[in-house]
Amino acid sequence: MRLKDKVAVVTGASRGIGRAIAIRLAAEGAHVVVDHPGEAEAANEVVQTIQDSGGAALAIAADVSITDAVHNLFRITVQEFGTIDILVNNAGICPFVEWFDLTEDIWDQVHHINLKGAFLCSQAASRIMRDHRHGGRIISLSSISALVGGSFQTAYTPTKAGIRSLMQSLAIVLGPYGITCNSILPGSILTDINRDHYQDAQILARDSQRIPVGRLGNPTDIAGVAAFLASEDADYINGADILVDGGLFVNLQ
């Protein structure tokens, strides 16, 4: 219960890593807003799971790439729970596309949701945190792809590098207000975003063998790190990025 009575907004929380983070923060005592892009059934299932465990949660449909939708998300959050203490920028997409087939529309969509969404939500949340004078936490899901390239991820990797850089800059801007800003860099985590990719048994075996701990990650592996960064145990961590990849990045030899 490290987060008892804190208010958390988790974007893209109806599935995958966002779902796991929302459930974990609620288990730590936070009141959780489950933001989703219109997946009401899945989001309501997350809310029900939290409520069945004695927690408090609310689902709100908001496209994080649209300014008015983001403002509405935080307006309802404050209306229902009084404030916001924790923002987790998790919403993101990663279409696997050949470079020569990549269109401007796909590029714009990925950048609008992943990077612009993190900007809009971070600005809206930090204004509330600043005005309410109680500090806060902004935690953003970057990726190991912020550090390495991806032949089918040429639209995606720049957004994850941008998110990491955004948190570093905001750590400087918002630190004086008691707001810490950090990023989590997941490695190969099995979620809906890449499940089709890993239907190929050879690809699954290849990627698992490259990871020193011998397996792909699970959303709960990321949720524990998010809960730590949201807690008082992480008070002096600001502008950091935590690589959660089972050792994949360092396994170069």
Residues, the chain: 253
What does the alpha-carbon distance between residue 96 and residue 81 come to, in Å, rounded to a whole number? 38
The verdict on whether 208 is a catalytic residue reads no
Catalytic residue (choose from 143, 145, 183, 188) = 143
The verdict on whether 143 is a catalytic residue reads yes
The verdict on whether 198 is a catalytic residue reads no
Assign 3-class secondary structure to the chain: CCCCCCEEEECCCCCHHHHHHHHHHHHCCCEEEEEECCCHHHHHHHHHHHHHCCCCEEEEECCCCCHHHHHHHHHHHHHHHCCCCEEEECCCCCCCCCHHHCCHHHHHHHHHHHHHHHHHHHHHHHHHHHHHCCCEEEEEECCHHHCCCCCCCCCHHHHHHHHHHHHHHHHHHHHHHCEEEEEEEECCECCCCCCCHHHCHHHHHHHHHHCCCCCCECHHHHHHHHHHHHCHHHCCCCCCEEEECCCCCCCCC
Structural tokens at position 209: 């063998």
Catalytic residue (choose from 122, 126, 156, 188) = 156
Catalytic residue (choose from 14, 160, 183, 188) = 160
Task: Report how far Cα 28 is from the mean position of its chain's Cα atoms.
Answer: 17
Q: Supply the residues annotated as catalytic.
A: 143, 156, 160
